């Protein structure tokens, strides 16, 4: 069993934690799912961890983009970067309120604070020349052609379900508000930050920040945040209890504890597809090479069991 003292842990909630398959995604549903998703975080706090929470926003930003598209010509259009900021604030509010209520019931006197987080990306990142991240709704070939012509969107066919808009997903470099997060942690607060991967910004010639229309991978951004604040542990919660080799095949094999070297070898062998475990494994490798102590990947209802070594996948230097 892994024994851990009071340390800083970054807990990354999966992008679909608040909207489950088959749900419409109403606010009532999202609040109910939030109450379930914070159980493990409450356990971490009760065990004495200093906690920073990150989260995905895929379904939520997709819905907001759809609302923007449906109101085209009636209200000013919201750029993608602003949609990311909007959903970061909205999801942060749900987690913040739900966790605050739960801590009050537990008799734990801590404040929960959401920090709207800007994340610096390289303006020359190749991702801007080759957008690959699908977002928003599915369209017919005719609709896709219309959006490409009228709005300049890059459209690609996605899994034979229709055409979707794809946008740039540049790599995160630095968290703008890292010092604020550190100070809040030092004050004993619980921080929600880098939601949805954070709001992507670039540095212009005079050193000012400027928003860009892109999305940042939540797990890679969580890694950058964890390194910036010198966190000890990174916990990424997803839809499965462990990472698998040959996932979905008859010879699939769960991974318990692996090293960075083993993780890199498995990546090279193609075990982790781009759209699933790949960014989590890459984030784990980056975090551990940057000085982190351990990474845990597990299901959202197995937080403490994973940290204690009873389940989940643990990656070590």
Q: How far is 189 from 18, CA to CA, in rounded Å?
A: 23
| 1 belongs to a structural domain | no
Assigned domain for 22 exists: yes
pLDDT digits (tens, 9 = 90+) for 189-226: 999 999 999 999 999 999 999 999 999 999 999 999 99
| Known active-site residue 280 | yes
> Residue 6: what pLDDT?
59
Please answer whether residues 196 and 159 qualify as being in contact, where contact means their C-beta atoms are separated by less than 8 angstroms. no
Which is the catalytic residue, given 196, 280, 286, 312?
Answer: 280
pLDDT band of 255, cuts 50, 70, 90: very high
The pLDDT tens digits for 16-29 are 788 888 888 999 99
* CB neighbours of residue 169 within 10 Å: 24
Report whether 200 contacts 170 (CB < 8 A): yes
- Does residue 138 lie in a domain region? yes
Per the CB < 8 A criterion, the answer to whether 177 and 146 are in contact is no
Distance between CA atoms of residues 266 and 284, nearest Å: 13
DSSP state of 75: B
List the catalytic residue out of 57, 196, 218, 286: 218
DSSP class per residue in 187-249: TT-EEE-SGGG-EEEEE-TTS-EEE-S----HHHHHHHHHHHTT-SEEEEEESSSSEEESTTS
- Domain membership of residue 3 (yes or no) is no
Residue 198 lies in a domain: yes
Claim to verify: residue 59 and residue 18 sit in the same structural domain: yes
User: Which of the two residues, 276 and 6, has the higher pLDDT score?
Assistant: 276
Phi-psi region of 156 (alpha: psi -120 to 50; beta: other; left: phi over 0): beta
For residue 2, tell me if it sits in a domain: no
Cβ atoms 215, 171 nearer than 8 A: no
- Are residues 253 and 153 part of one domain? no
- Per residue in 145-176, pLDDT (tens digit) is 998 998 888 999 876 789 988 999 999 999 99
Q: Are residues 91 and 14 in the same domain?
A: yes
Q: Is residue 295 part of a domain?
A: yes
State which H helix or E strand residue 141 sits in: helix 141-151
- Would you state the structure tokens that stand for residue 201, as one six-digit string? 């910004």
Which 3 state secondary structure label does DSSP give 159?
A: coil
Please indicate, yes or no, whether residues 284 and 203 belong to a single structural domain of this protein. Answer: yes
**Pair 41, 180 in one domain:** yes
Number of Cβ within a 10 Å radius of residue 7: 13
Token pair listed for 1: 């069993």
Does residue 68 sit in the same domain as residue 178?
yes
Residue 79 has pLDDT above 50, yes or no: yes
Check whether 65 has a pLDDT greater than 90: no
Tell me if residue 287 falls in helix, strand or coil: helix
Q: Which of 133, 196, 197, 302 is catalytic?
A: 133
Query: What integer best gives the mean pLDDT of the chain?
Result: 93
Domain count of the fold of the chain: 2
Both 194 and 138 in a single domain?
no
Residue 74: φ, ψ to 5°:
-105, -35
What burial letters (b/e) apply to 118-134, b meaning 16+ CB within 10 Å? bbbbeeebebbeebebb
Cα–Cα distance, 55 to 114 (Å, whole number): 11
CATH number where 295 lies: 3.40.1160.10
Same domain, 32 and 104: yes
CA 203 to chain centre: 23
Q: Provide the token pair at 155.
A: 């459209």
- Whether residue 102 is contained in a domain is answered as yes
Catalytic residue status for 246: no
242 in the same domain as 142: no
pLDDT recorded at residue 1 = 45
Q: How far apart are CA 277 and CA 57, in angstroms?
A: 17
> Which range of residues forms the domain containing residue 152?
131-167
CA angle 221-33-237, nearest 5°? 35
* Same-domain check for residues 218 and 303: yes
Does 239 share its domain with 295?
yes
Q: Is 3 a catalytic residue?
A: no
Which residue is it, tokens 């920040």? 209
Q: Are residues 201 and 292 in the same domain?
A: yes
């Amino acid at each position: 069993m892994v024994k851990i003292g009071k340390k800083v842990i970054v807990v990354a909630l999966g992008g679909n934690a608040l909207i489950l398959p088959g749900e419409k995604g109403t606010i009532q549903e999202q609040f109910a799912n939030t109450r379930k998703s914070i159980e493990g975080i409450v356990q971490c706090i009760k065990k004495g961890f200093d906690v920073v929470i990150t989260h995905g926003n895929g379904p939520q930003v997709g819905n907001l983009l759809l609302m923007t598209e449906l109101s085209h010509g009636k209200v000013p259009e919201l750029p993608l970067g602003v949609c990311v900021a909007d959903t970061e604030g909205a999801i942060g509010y749900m987690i913040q309120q739900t966790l605050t209520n739960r801590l009050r019931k537990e008799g734990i006197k801590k404040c929960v604070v959401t920090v709207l987080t800007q994340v610096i990306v390289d303006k020359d990142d190749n991702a801007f020349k080759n957008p690959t991240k699908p977002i928003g709704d599915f369209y017919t070939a005719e609709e896709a052609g219309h959006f490409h012509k009228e709005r300049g969107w890059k459209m690609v066919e996605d899994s034979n379900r229709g055409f979707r808009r794809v946008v740039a997903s540049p790599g995160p470099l630095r968290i703008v508000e890292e010092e604020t997060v550190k100070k809040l942690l030092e004050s004993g607060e619980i921080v929600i930050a880098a939601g949805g991967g954070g709001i992507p910004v670039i540095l212009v010639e005079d050193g000012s920040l400027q928003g860009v229309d892109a999305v940042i991978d939540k797990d890679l951004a969580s890694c950058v945040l964890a390194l910036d604040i010198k966190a000890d542990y990174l916990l990424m919660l997803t839809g499965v209890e462990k990472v698998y080799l040959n996932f979905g095949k008859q010879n699939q094999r769960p991974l318990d504890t692996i090293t960075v070297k083993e993780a890199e070898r498995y990546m090279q062998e193609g075990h982790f597809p781009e759209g699933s475990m790949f960014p989590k494994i890459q984030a784990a490798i980056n975090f551990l090479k940057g000085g982190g102590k351990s990474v845990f990947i597990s299901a959202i209802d197995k937080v403490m069991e994973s940290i204690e070594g009873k389940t989940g996948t643990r990656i070590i230097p």
